[in-house]
């Protein structure tokens, strides 16, 4: 019942690596939900379903995500193993695979290199389709050297389906066929889609408090369903925080449980975001500024701007542009501004657009400056092409 990989849709893959049979176990789990028509829904099975949903959702949020992917707190080797065992009972692959893919996601969030971005691959692919791409089948263990050094985690990586099979067997022993179908299968499917919704819905619907260079959003409904994961924009603003609901009213059930466990010393070294992050007064990193500036620059068409500028120039002026624009970005911007500033968006216009598009940030000026450089360079390239054609 583990999630194996198939290929990306033909629209995003050029390798023809479609392998739909690998999706059969995943589809069978969903079809298995219908078997409740014959097994019935007993109160024991329903109680199992609700309990296992909560328990395994915690294993996803506090285990797969906050501990194994981001190391937002510390714990003992024994509890780490138990957390990994419980997390893999959700049939969402091994903790090594999950953490490696998630770390890659944060490195390339909502860029063309992201493994599941609604912006680049569409909603369905980001929700579930990416899981069935052959290129995602193998875990890149170089991304998780801190985890791969543990023999017990490497063993779980090899027998990744075993925890789910064992749990299914326990459900059958406890409540019979209804326990297996309703208790195990139903809760498994519910945990699947609650988890997957963070990759899809949490990058499409919700509010943005922080500039993160991606489409991550805060969503109360998803936060309730996923025990706190719905505060996704908060998370992308400070990924190593053990708490994702930054405000007192932002429900984060996984954080409450981890805080309780810390009282008994089961977990410790819980990482919290600095005050400057909580107050949205932190300076953004270079990568975030670059990505956000690219988003802002994408609002304008450099080719149209270049054509407008070229239409006002004499042939002699146009022919000298390639040499004049071959310098640094700043020189290109100065040259273009001197030529026809009315065709290029002013800094004030870029500032207004940035305020309309993004959340408040101390780095807005840096984003606008970088956007102006990117736009000037792009317009310059188009002008150079026009001069060559002329």
Q: pLDDT tens for residues 171-182?
A: 999 999 999 999
Residue 2 included in any domain: no
Provide the pLDDT for residue 335. Answer: 57
Q: What's the pLDDT band for 126 if we cut at 50, 70, 90?
A: very high
Does residue 303 carry a pLDDT above 80?
Answer: no
Inter-residue contact 372 to 329 (CB < 8 Å): no
261 plus 333 within the same structural domain: no
Q: Which of the two residues, 385 and 263, has the higher pLDDT score?
A: 263
260 plus 293 within the same structural domain: no
Q: What's the pLDDT band for 5 if we cut at 50, 70, 90?
A: very low
Residue 50 included in any domain: yes
* Rounded average pLDDT over 33-51: 96
Q: CB-side exposure of 303: number of CA atoms within 13 Å?
A: 1
* CA distances from residue 228 to 62, 136, 236 in whole angstroms, order as listed: 10, 26, 13
Residue 216 included in any domain: yes
Task: Indicate the residue among 217, 248, 278 that finishes a domain.
Answer: 278
Number of structural domains (the chain) is 2
Residue 90 included in any domain: yes
Provide the pLDDT for residue 337. Answer: 56
290 plus 274 within the same structural domain: no
> Mean pLDDT lowest for which of 41-50, 329-338, 360-369?
329-338
Residue 51 included in any domain: yes
273 plus 290 within the same structural domain: no
- Which residues are CB-contacts of 303 (< 8 A; sequence separation ≥ 6)? 382
Task: Indicate the residue among 226, 259, 278 that finishes a domain.
Answer: 278
Mean pLDDT of the chain: 86
262 plus 326 within the same structural domain: no
Does residue 15 carry a pLDDT above 60?
Answer: no
3-state secondary structure of 125: helix
Token pair belonging to 198: 């963070």
Residue 48 included in any domain: yes
Closest CA relative to residue 76, chosen from 86, 88, 66, 84: 84
96 plus 199 within the same structural domain: yes
**Backbone phi and psi for residue 159, each to the nearest 5 degrees, phi listed first:** -115, 45
* CA distances from residue 194 to 252, 310, 345, 349 in whole angstroms, order as listed: 15, 52, 42, 40
189 plus 112 within the same structural domain: yes
268 plus 300 within the same structural domain: no
Q: Which of the two residues, 195 and 336, has the higher pLDDT score?
A: 195
252 plus 297 within the same structural domain: no
68 plus 125 within the same structural domain: yes
pTM of the prediction?
Answer: 0.85
Provide the pLDDT for residue 152. Answer: 97
Q: What's the pLDDT band for 342 if we cut at 50, 70, 90?
A: low
Closest CA relative to residue 242, chosen from 388, 128, 11, 75: 75
Rounded Cα–Cα distance for residues 199 and 107 (Å): 14
Inter-residue contact 97 to 64 (CB < 8 Å): no
**Backbone phi and psi for residue 74, each to the nearest 5 degrees, phi listed first:** -120, 160
Provide the pLDDT for residue 29. Answer: 95
110 plus 239 within the same structural domain: yes
Instruction: Report angle CA 188, 62, 199 to the nearest 5 degrees.
Output: 65
- Residue 30 domain boundaries: 20-278
Task: Indicate the residue among 278, 304, 330 that finishes a domain.
Answer: 278
219 plus 293 within the same structural domain: no
Report CA dihedral (278, 279, 282, 285) to the nearest 10 degrees: 50
Residue 8 included in any domain: no
Residue 183 included in any domain: yes
Does residue 238 carry a pLDDT above 60?
Answer: yes
């Amino acid at each position: 019942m583990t999630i194996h990989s198939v290929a990306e849709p033909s629209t995003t893959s050029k390798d023809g690596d479609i392998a739909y049979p690998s999706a059969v176990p995943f589809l069978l789990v969903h079809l298995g939900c219908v078997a409740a028509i014959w097994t019935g829904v007993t109160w024991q099975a329903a109680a199992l379903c609700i309990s296992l949903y909560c328990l395994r959702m915690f294993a996803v949020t506090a285990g797969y995500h906050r501990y194994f992917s981001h190391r937002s707190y510390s714990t003992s080797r024994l509890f780490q193993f138990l957390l990994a065992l419980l997390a893999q009972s959700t049939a969402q692959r091994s903790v090594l695979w999950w953490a490696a893919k998630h770390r890659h996601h944060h490195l390339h969030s909502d860029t063309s290199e992201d493994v599941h971005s609604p912006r680049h691959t569409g909603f369905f692919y980001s929700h579930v389709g990416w899981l069935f791409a052959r290129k995602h089948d193998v875990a890149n263990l170089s991304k998780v050297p801190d985890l791969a050094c543990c023999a017990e985690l490497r063993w779980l990586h090899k027998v990744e389906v075993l925890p789910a099979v064992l749990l299914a067997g326990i459900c059958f022993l406890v409540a019979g066929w209804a326990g297996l179908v309703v208790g195990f299968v139903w809760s498994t499917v519910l945990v699947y889609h609650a988890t997957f919704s963070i990759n899809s819905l949490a990058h499409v619907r919700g509010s943005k408090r922080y500039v993160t260079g991606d489409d991550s959003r805060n969503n109360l409904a998803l936060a309730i369903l996923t025990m706190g994961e719905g505060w996704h924009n908060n998370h992308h603003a400070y990924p190593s925080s053990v708490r994702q609901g930054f405000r007192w009213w932002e429900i984060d059930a996984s954080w409450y449980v981890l805080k309780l466990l810390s009282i008994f010393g089961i977990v410790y070294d819980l990482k919290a975001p600095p005050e400057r992050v909580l107050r949205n007064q932190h300076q953004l990193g270079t990568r975030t500024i670059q990505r956000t500036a690219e988003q802002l620059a994408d609002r304008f068409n450099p080719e149209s701007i270049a054509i407008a500028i070229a239409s006002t120039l004499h042939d002699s002026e146009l022919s000298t542009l390639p040499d004049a624009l071959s310098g640094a970005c700043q020189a290109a911007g100065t040259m273009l501004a001197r030529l026809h500033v009315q065709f290029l968006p002013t800094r004030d216009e870029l500032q207004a657009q940035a305020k309309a598009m993004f959340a408040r940030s101390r780095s807005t000026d840096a984003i606008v400056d970088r956007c102006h450089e990117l736009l000037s360079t792009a317009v310059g390239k188009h002008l150079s092409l026009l001069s060559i054609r002329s």
